[in-house]
Structure 1
Amino acid sequence: MDIDVLGALDVRENGVSITPTAPKPRQLLALLALHADRVVPVGSLVEELWSGRPPRSARTTLQTYVLQLRELIAAALAHRAARHPGAGPGPRTAKDVLLTLPGGYVLSSGGGPSDLRDFERLAGTGYRAMDAGDFAAASRTLGTALDLWSGPAFADVQCGTRLATEARRLEESRLCALHQRIEADLRLGRHREVLAELTVLTSHYRTHENLHAQFMIALHRSGRRGEALNAYTHLRTTLGRDLGLEPSAQLRRLQHLILTAEPETGPARAARAVHHPNAGPRTGSR
């Protein structure tokens, strides 16, 4: 089974899509796919589908949705049998793929690929490369991880409370990997290459201090100190207006270093000024 959730939902068995078009079964499949090979309790599925206001027939309706998914899975398995008539019966049935267990259901991936698992594996490898000072490997690996995203997680799924929470968590994971990939590029002297990307990112994530710090550093290293200082002023105004906050001490230190440093010597010190675990976003996009 192939599972993609980092963008539009796409779940395939033997290359055949088993993703339903109806909103509720699609929502059910999304939560099962997110937790592939793990039991998802019935209560969690009911909460996701009806957001804490389930009808009296919720469990019966849930079973109907499960049957609909199994029909799609059975069709995919039959397609495989039709394409390979000499292979004999397939090793899996629809009930083997979508199992009923005490307390819940399991979507069995059969060891197939998952874009989420691949992203988490590659991101972890990239973070370890950053820790080891191998910035070229970090940039390359984190870039590959980010390429797995085709849009917001579950982009075409009607999300209830649980999927919405997971989508926010995944977006934070993506932002963390993105920040670290840009950091690796800055360490490699690719400040001009990341300027356009950071221009877009800081416009979207208007109070994300790490991204703004990287934007300031990239501008300063490109000989655009005035624009770097303007970026700080704009962020400070936005933080004060939207959140009632001042920029962090690390960002204020970065502004001071840009004010006083030459472009050739300032950026390295400026970069170190914001390498702090608490110098992250104050909030999401605004």
Structure 2
Amino acid sequence: MRYELLGPLRVANGQDHFTLSAPKMETLLALLLTSAGQSVTKDHLITELWGARPPRRAAAAVHVYISQLRKFLVSAGDSEGRAIVTTPAGYLLRRGGAELDVDDFQAAVRVGREHLHAGRHERAAAEFDLALALVRGPVLAGTAEGTALAAFATWVEEERLACLELLVEARIALGRHREVISLLSSLTAQYPLRESFYRQLMLVLYRSERQAEALQVYRSAQRVLRSELGLEPCRSLRRMHQAILTSDRYLDLSLAG
């Protein structure tokens, strides 16, 4: 079995994928999976499922959802029906030998970082591509409402963006400057407050002999940051701007931090 949380939640068993049609059951399974093998109290489950105003028979409803979830996991490959355990405080999900896509994502990023730091840029890019391919969309298809799952969804998105930065860094180190211009242009438009993408875009434009456009990117970033946050660009972005203005030789050697 394999649990997949990086997108709409599903359980894989070989070539087959199993999904839950009931949002509350999907949320419940995600909560158990993100609890890292720890027991989750019934009160916490109720709060995450219904917020501050749960229905009168919320505890009974959780019991029913757990029963249905056990049946679902049996159909998905938990042949002994022992994945979800009742504890004195609540419930616990035992993964046993089941895989989790979040673990694979983190492992690929970790190996990619090791390759990147060692100068093995081709292998680093391959690992980052592998990690990003595991992210199929927003956690729970963007429907995570409870505090715990909302925090998890935010963490996943931040890790995905950090991985994208690393992938771009690896491709820049390989000299694939023109290859990443389109990607970075899209990322700066989609995430206008993330200054690292502006910095990377300025560098690849400069290395592609498009200095004027690189300086325009800085001006655009400056306008956005002033308008949205009342702030000036960060030090690394200002350094990149100054280096481009003076055609600093270090721009031809490495990506400045």
The question of whether the paired residues in 1 share the 8 Å contact of 2:188 and 2:198 is answered with yes
Q: Distance in 2 between matches of 1:35 and 1:128?
A: 28
TM-score normalized by the length of structure 1: 0.83
Does 2:70 correspond to 1:70?
Answer: yes
* Paired position in structure 1 for 2:222: 236
* Paired position in structure 2 for 1:56: 56
Moved more, 253-262 or 157-166: 157-166
Does 2:80 correspond to 1:93?
Answer: yes
The question of whether the paired residues in 2 share the 8 Å contact of 1:26 and 1:157 is answered with no
Q: Which amino acid aligns with 2:67?
A: L
* Paired position in structure 1 for 2:207: 221
Does 2:91 correspond to 1:105?
Answer: yes
* Paired position in structure 2 for 1:279: none
> Which consecutive residues of structure 2, in runs of 5 or more, have no partner in the other structure?
none
The question of whether the paired residues in 1 share the 8 Å contact of 2:27 and 2:144 is answered with yes
* Paired position in structure 2 for 1:8: 8
Q: Distance in 1 between matches of 2:233 and 2:194?
A: 10
The question of whether the paired residues in 1 share the 8 Å contact of 2:173 and 2:254 is answered with no
* Paired position in structure 2 for 1:117: 103
The question of whether the paired residues in 2 share the 8 Å contact of 1:23 and 1:158 is answered with no
> Which consecutive residues of structure 1, in runs of 5 or more, have no partner in the other structure?
78-89, 276-286
* Paired position in structure 1 for 2:255: 271
The question of whether the paired residues in 2 share the 8 Å contact of 1:127 and 1:138 is answered with yes
Change (3 A) 1:206 1:270: farther
Counterpart secondary structure, 1:154: helix
Q: Which amino acid aligns with 1:65?
A: Y
Change (3 A) 1:269 1:255: farther
Moved more, 19-28 or 156-165: 156-165
Q: Distance in 2 between matches of 1:270 and 1:250?
A: 13
The question of whether the paired residues in 1 share the 8 Å contact of 2:6 and 2:137 is answered with yes
Alignment of 1:134-149 (within 5 A): 134-149=120-135
How far residue 133 of structure 1 moved from its aligned partner, in angstroms, is 2.7
Q: Deviations over 1:63-121 (max 9, x none)?
A: 111011122233445xxxxxxxxxxxx8x422x12111222222232312221110011
Q: How many residues align?
A: 257
* Paired position in structure 2 for 1:127: 113
Q: Distance in 1 between matches of 2:140 and 2:238?
A: 37
* Paired position in structure 2 for 1:43: 43
Q: Distance in 2 between matches of 1:258 and 1:22?
A: 54
